[in-house]
A and B are shown apart, each in its own frame.
Chain A
Amino acid sequence: MKITVDEDKCCGAGQCALIAPEVFDQRDEDGVVVLLDAAPGEEHHGAVRESAQVCPAAAITVDEDA
């Protein structure tokens, strides 16, 4: 799995940082997403998929085959 995030799209709602805190964080100054781990282990895949699904700004892209 390979993750990319689009900082320009992100509205800092924090859904990802709530659901998968090992993978996503937020910049302190404006809440924009910080990708902590672009290729997280198997155990995080479920939470990453859920984060991408509930992200309100479609700022998280998950490539399952990479």
Chain B
Amino acid sequence: MTPVKTTISRRSFIKVSALAGGGMMLSFSWLAGCKPTPEEALTLPKEWFELNSYIKIGENGIVTLMAPNPEFGSNVKTTLPMILADELDIDWKNVIVEQADFFPERFERQFTGGSQSVRQGWKILREAGAIARQMLVNAAAKTWNVSADDITTEAGILHHKSSGKRAGYGEVASQAATLPLPENIKLKEIKDFTIIGTSRKNVDGKSIVTGKPLFGIDHTQEGMLIAMIAHPPFGMRVKSVDDSAARSMPGVRDVFTIKTLADDYERNGFDTTAFTELAVVVGNTTWEVMNAKKALKIEWEKISDSNVVVNGRAGKQTVRVPGGLEST
């Protein structure tokens, strides 16, 4: 174990829900001789105790880990929680992974790209796991009235050797959730990793092979409409839209144009800003909207000469772009 000072920002530890406090301490003996079987382990707990933005523990020892980044097929929804799980020191079979919503107040760097998810997530996720582990250790130390330094953990079990006391994480989770964020934590030595460095299956495997809704396009809600956009050719903008045919088609609710950038918008190095104006059709169902989009008669015109401010990594540059340049 390598002792380190907690460095991740405290904002990751804002408690959104008042989960902590109500839990009851259970007797400490029942787990001693019986490890839960996988079937038992997969029973959902009655109550969750949140230790930080990334980790919730149920009273029965089941752990929910948040996958902070969007999944684009690089399996970060599996990989990033593996890092949390290893430092938290739990059994992977007791883990439920949940996709985090976009919530920059609670999570760091919530995007996927640049092959950076593991590299940049590494430190924060290890610390988040180690902090939660330390809080569980501290809770057990308090309850048993022993020094936290004498408590070890393994696969979700706390152990105090000289007294022989043992407890599952779930048993102290309610108390741990009320404790302050520890200043000092210990990170595992690389040789002690039990999950990192091993191969684990895609946590969504079963949902994928059974066709469960997982993707943006699968989202639906009461009263939802479908929108589609007609893109201009590069370097062009809307001159006029004749939507008379489209509007009279079944299921169509509205047709309008939108500007995608504010007039004084400063572009970033990574922005895709080729389409500054779009025509939009909104309607009831996908097929109706697709047909109405085809029925739009749009006249495009060249974007006039413009000054474009690009706010790149090394500072701002103003570039004079002649009209229609991007349509080449």
> Are A and B interaction partners?
no
Residues of A within 8 A of B (CB): none
